Amino acid sequence: MKIQVSHLTDGLHSDHLLDSASAFGFENPDDFAGKIKVDITIDKRRSDFYLKFAVMAKVFLVCDRCLERFESLFEDEARALYTTNEKLVTDDSGSTYLIQEGQRELEVGTEVREIVVLALPIKTVCSENCKGLCKCGRNLNKEACTCEEPDIDPRWETLKKLKNTN
Ligand SMILES: [Zn+2]
Ligand SMILES: [Zn+2]
């Protein structure tokens, strides 16, 4: 996924991308519902480009508790530097990309993928109130289960006994 920069003068510009997850080079395009929208602010300073990305997408996540797939809105922002100065590009300079003097377009797919992959939550629940799965495998959001009473924490049992003796 590339943006044209050859026509830009020094200063601020904006660009917009709207395309499918596979066009952005995502490995699992099925994890996205619809297109990915990216608003880019470009600050051109001589042969360097300071970019700000705002990424919006609908993603499918799997709930950690009930294992159902659900749709979630993803929104995040990040900055990246596209520079001709090799010294600025080191192993730990995450979002810095080396470009050639007079390069006509910038490859932004890598950065967009990184923004999404890094920001997606590691732990996900479909809702704060998700009841999860019963030991028997039933989804407790959809049906009540009678197979087993929930385990009572033994500490509460002790408390109850104490209360009863008062
Ligand atoms: Zn859930
Ligand atoms: Zn059950």
Q: Tens digit of pLDDT for each residue in 52-87?
A: 999 999 999 999 999 999 999 999 999 999 999 988
Query: 78 and 23 share a domain?
Result: yes
Is the same domain home to 126 and 139?
Answer: no
More confident residue, 147 or 160: 147
Residues spanned by the domain of 135? 131-166
Shared-domain flag, residues 147 and 163: yes
Question: Can you say how many angstroms the Cα of residue 136 is from the centroid of all Cα atoms in its chain?
Answer: 32
Task: Tell me how many domains the chain contains.
Answer: 2
> Do 162 and 125 lie in a common domain?
no
- The rounded percent of the chain whose pLDDT value lies above 70 is 87
- Alpha carbon of 89 to ligand 2 centroid (Å): 55
List the shell of residues around ion ligand 1, using CB closer than 5 Å.
Answer: 63, 65-66, 126, 130
pTM given for the model = 0.79
CA of 102 to the centre of ligand 2 (A): 65
Helix (H) or strand (E) holding 12: strand 11-19
Please give the angle made by the CA atoms of 28, 117 and 16, to the nearest 5 degrees. 85
State mean pLDDT over 130-144.
93
